[in-house]
Structures are given as C-alpha cells and as structure tokens.
C-alpha cells in the first residue's frame, strides 16, 4: 500500500506529465514558420494546434489561383485584411463622435443618428412599461413606466441615439422616453 503522502506526490507527478504532453513546445511553431511550402506549413500548424472546428468559406483567391495583374495571390488575399486592420488601429481609442468626424459618409451609411417608423403593435409589460413593435419588425421596450408617453398603433415615432449608448423614443406629441431595443 502507498502512503498517503506518496499518493499526493504521485498525483502531482502524473498531472505534470499530462500537462507537459498537452502544452506546445516553444520551438515547434518556429519550425513550422521556417517551412517554405504553404501547404506543409499549414499542415505543421494544424498538427500542433489542431484544426478549427468550423471553417468559413473564404472569398479571397486561393494561393494556387493565378493572381490578377501580376500580384502574388498571397498579397491579394491579405489586402482586405490589412486595410481593415489599419482602419481598426487608426480608430482605436477614438470616441464614436471622433470616428464619425473622420469618416462622415461611412458613419452615416452604417450608423444613422435616428430612425422613424410606424407603430404596428403596442403592448405593456407586467410592470406597465410599453413594448412597441415597429412596421420594420424592430421591438423596443420602455425602460421606465411613464404614463405621459402615449403611443397607439399607426403613430409615427422617432428613435434617436442619446447619451452613453441609450435611445430616446419621441412621440408625435414631442414627448420623449428612454427605450431599449429587444429585437
């Protein structure tokens, strides 16, 4: 029989052996990076790190496809990713207002400041907050009960961006109440 203290050391040793076998040695990725053949390099990385569970289709040309206008296929495939990374890095740390100021055309297309719509359905939560369904399918709920916000089916409402990512629903009677999109 193994003493209790020895069982603890045996378990620790077994855990260390398992952990060592599961970790990637530092020189293995370098060995893969040194391979010139793209397929061999990918196979090497796959053998170390495993293959992703799902693979998304790639719109970029494959490495074996002929490149347009004499540009290497690898450069063509990397161009959109590099442009996106450059934009992301250039915008890092800026407020949303500063991002819109840098590219006003793009921000207007992507993120409008407000939307207007016709109310298709009005319901209430058990506590009394409004639940509004617009004709475009969006569902908005009132954040606090406010009886002064009167909305009926067929009314046109405007939902505007407000401070700190919140939204205001403005009724036809110009009354505003805070709302949150739920669908």
Phi, psi of 124, deg, nearest 5: -130, 145
Which stretches of the chain drop beneath a pLDDT of 70? 1-7, 14-26, 52-91, 104-111
List all residues 6 or more positions away from 60 whose beta carbon is below 8 Å from its beta carbon. 76, 77, 80
Q: Which two tokens stand for residue 73?
A: 């296929």
DSSP class of residue 108 equals H
- For residue 158, the model assigns a pLDDT of 92
Phi, psi of 179, deg, nearest 5: -135, 165
- For residue 154, the model assigns a pLDDT of 94
- For residue 157, the model assigns a pLDDT of 93
- For residue 139, the model assigns a pLDDT of 93
Burial class (CB in 10 A: 0-12, 13-18, 19+), 167: middle
pLDDT in tens, 46-77: 777 777 665 555 554 444 444 444 544 444 44
- C-alpha span between 138 and 123 (Å, rounded): 14
- For residue 73, the model assigns a pLDDT of 47
- For residue 132, the model assigns a pLDDT of 93
The 3-state DSSP class for residue 165 equals helix
Threshold 0.75, pTM exceeds: no
Tell which phi-psi region holds residue 68, choosing left (phi > 0), alpha (psi between -120 and 50) or beta.
Answer: beta
């Amino acid at each position: 029989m193994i003493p209790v203290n020895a069982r603890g050391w045996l378990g620790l040793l077994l855990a260390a052996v398992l952990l060592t076998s599961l970790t990637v040695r530092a020189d293995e990725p370098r060995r893969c990076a040194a391979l010139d053949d793209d397929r061999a390099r990918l196979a090497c990385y796959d053998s170390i790190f495993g293959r992703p569970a799902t693979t998304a289709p790639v719109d970029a040309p494959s490495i074996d496809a002929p490149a347009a206008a004499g540009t290497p296929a690898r450069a063509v495939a990397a161009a959109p990713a590099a442009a996106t990374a450059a934009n992301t890095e250039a915008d890092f740390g800026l407020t949303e207002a500063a991002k819109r100021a840098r590219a006003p055309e793009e921000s207007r297309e992507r993120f409008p400041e407000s939307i207007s719509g016709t109310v298709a359905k009005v319901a209430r939560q058990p506590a009394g907050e409004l639940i509004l369904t617009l004709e475009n399918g969006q569902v908005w709920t009132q954040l606090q009960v406010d009886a002064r916000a009167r909305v009926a089916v067929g009314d046109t409402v405007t939902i505007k961006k407000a401070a700190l990512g919140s939204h205001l629903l403005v009724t036809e009677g110009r009354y505003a109440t805070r709302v949150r999109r739920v669908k």
